[in-house]
Amino acid sequence: MALWSCGLFFLVGLLTGVWKYVQIRGSDKARAHYYVDIAHRASLMYAFACLVLERFAVLSVWPEWVNVLAVLASVLFFALAVGSYILHGALKDTRNQLQKPHAFGAGSLPAWLISGFMWVLVIAEIGGFLVLFAGFAAAP
């Protein structure tokens, strides 16, 4: 699963790179929208992060289902983050999705939703990796 995720994030990184280039070509300032650029970079970064997760999962002593859940926790929130960047890049609605009011198209999202999502993301991504790292550290 981590390798599939790696491949998919890498592909999204390449495709958002094309989107970024098209926007740069069409811009007077030779710039893409802020979140198009972030989506491109984050997708490439998360592709390689998935390789790290895969390696630690392989070396972990925990049962396979534990490692799968740990990888899933991180990968799911990597994907949700990139998805939000792509959405904001397509909508061109903000340059900072964490700035209040939290822009979403023509409207806005409640602060508690953004804050809650960010804390769950932190717990899932760090927690998922800590499970894998502990499984690696526990190996003989």
Which token pair is 91? 């909508």
Per-residue pLDDT of the chain (140 residues; tens, 9 = 90+): 999 999 999 999 999 999 999 999 999 999 999 999 999 999 999 999 999 999 999 999 999 999 999 999 999 999 999 999 999 999 999 989 999 999 998 899 999 999 999 999 999 999 999 999 999 999 98
The domain spans of the chain are 1-138
DSSP, res 94: -
Residue 25, token pair as written in the block: 């070509």
Q: Which pTM value belongs to this model?
A: 0.91
Pairing relation of β-strands 102-104 and 107-109? antiparallel
> What is the distance between the alpha carbons of residues 70 and 68, in angstroms, rounded to a whole number?
5
